[in-house]
């Protein structure tokens, strides 16, 4: 079983829709959870960072962590064409060097 | 603010040729540095990481090597490229949790 599972999509939504992106994981020791956005042919950029369980909101983006279900989500409200990218989840158990990425979900927001 | 540079942006190399990719970080001291490879549909694969000058840890056995000659410089090398070395190579740095990625180098081995 992979450490982190992420549906690759592709996901296509109309502009203004609410987008839900998800990852599941198997290691209950994970405490640090991140979402990255990667535009085509660019490096990933950190979008959201969450420690342990709960929600975190930043503008149109909300990250949720449910450690009991080993499930994390990223919600994008009022999606824009500029949100079209691949979104990768990432997580780790500590601040060391073991860092696990999902394979990414490709999102297209249609104007 | 911190900035990470990678070059070249794109590289086309014949099988069997050598490789040298360079990464430099500005605006931070003593960062942990990482080399990742990203292949389509396979996510990010950690190749090497370094916690200091001359200190390299390899995560995946392969024909690639890495060196850290200076605090903010990280180099990925190969003596003889294979077709399977094609991919998108990303350098990253961290201070604590998280990874901050560079713009990447797209390598095509023919």
- Can you give the pLDDT at residue A95? 66
- Can you give the pLDDT at residue B89? 97
Q: Convert B66-104 to b/e letters by CB count within 10 Å (16 or more is b).
A: bbbeeebbbbbebeebeeebbbbbbbbbbeebbbbbbeb
Q: Which residue of B has its CA nearest to A89?
A: B43
| Residues whose CB falls within 8 Å of the CB of residue B86, separated by 6 or more in sequence, listed in order | B107, B108, B109
Which positions in chain A touch B90 (Cβ < 8 Å)?
43-44
Report the gap between the CA of B57 and the closest CA in chain A (Å): 10
Contact (CB, 8 A) for A74 and A88: no
- Can you give the pLDDT at residue A97? 67
Report the gap between the CA of A61 and the closest CA in chain B (Å): 18
Angle at A46 between CA A71 and CA A66, to 5 degrees: 15
Element holding B39 (H helix, E strand)? strand B32-39
Question: What average pLDDT does the segment A9-35 reach?
Answer: 95
Q: Using CA of residue A27, residue A57, residue A8, residue B23, what is the dihedral sign?
A: negative
Contact (CB, 8 A) for A103 and A24: no
Among partner residues B43, B51, B106, which is closest to A104 by beta-carbon distance? B43
Q: Is A108 left (phi over 0), alpha (psi -120 to 50) or beta?
A: beta
Residues of B in CB contact (< 8 Å) with A are 6, 32, 34, 41-44, 46, 49, 51, 57, 88, 90, 92, 96-104, 106
Which positions in chain A touch B44 (Cβ < 8 Å)?
44, 88, 101
Which positions in chain A touch B92 (Cβ < 8 Å)?
43
Q: Is pLDDT above 70 for A99?
A: yes
Q: Label each residue of chain A as H, E or C.
A: CCCEEECCCCEEEECCCCEEEEEEECCCCCCEEEEEEECCCCCCEEEEEEECCEEEEECCEEEEEECCCCEEEEEECCCCHHHCEEEEEEEECCCCCCCEECCCEEEEEEC
Mutation target vs A (from B21, B34, B38; most A CBs, 10 A cutoff)? B38
Which positions in chain A touch B98 (Cβ < 8 Å)?
32, 34, 46, 49
Contact yes or no for B100 and A46 at CB 8 A: yes
* Out of A91-95, B6-10, B52-56, B105-109, least confident range: A91-95
Distances (CA, A) of B65 to A37, A93, B33, B61, B80: 28, 27, 14, 9, 11
pLDDT in tens, B39-94: 876 789 999 999 999 999 988 867 999 999 999 999 999 999 999 999 999 999 98
Cα B53 to Cα B33: distance, rounded to the nearest angstrom: 10
Residue B98: pLDDT band with limits 50, 70, 90: confident
Give SS3 for B84: helix
Which positions in chain A touch B49 (Cβ < 8 Å)?
97
Contact yes or no for B97 and A43 at CB 8 A: no
């Amino acid at each position: 079983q992979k450490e982190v599972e992420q549906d690759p999509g592709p996901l296509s939504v109309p502009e203004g829709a609410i987008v839900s992106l998800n990852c599941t994981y198997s290691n209950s020791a994970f405490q640090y959870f991140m979402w990255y956005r990667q535009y085509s042919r660019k490096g990933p950029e950190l979008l959201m960072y969450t420690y342990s369980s709960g929600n975190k909101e930043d503008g149109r983006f909300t990250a949720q962590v449910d450690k009991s279900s080993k499930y994390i989500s990223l919600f994008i409200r009022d999606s824009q064409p500029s949100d079209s990218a691949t979104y990768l989840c990432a997580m780790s158990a500590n601040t060391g060097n073991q860092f696990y990425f999902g394979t990414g979900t490709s999102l297209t927001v249609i104007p | 603010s911190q900035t990470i540079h990678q070059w070249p942006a794109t590289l086309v190399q014949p099988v069997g040729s050598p490789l040298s990719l360079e990464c430099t970080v500005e605006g931070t001291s003593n960062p942990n540095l990482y080399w990742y490879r990203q292949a389509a549909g396979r996510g990010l694969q950690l190749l090497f990481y370094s916690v200091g000058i001359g200190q390299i840890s390899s995560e995946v056995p392969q024909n690639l090597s890495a060196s850290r000659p200076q605090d903010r410089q990280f180099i990925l090398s190969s003596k003889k490229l294979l077709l399977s070395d094609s991919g998108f190579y990303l350098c990253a740095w961290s201070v604590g949790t998280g990874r901050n990625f560079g713009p990447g180098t797209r390598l095509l081995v023919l």
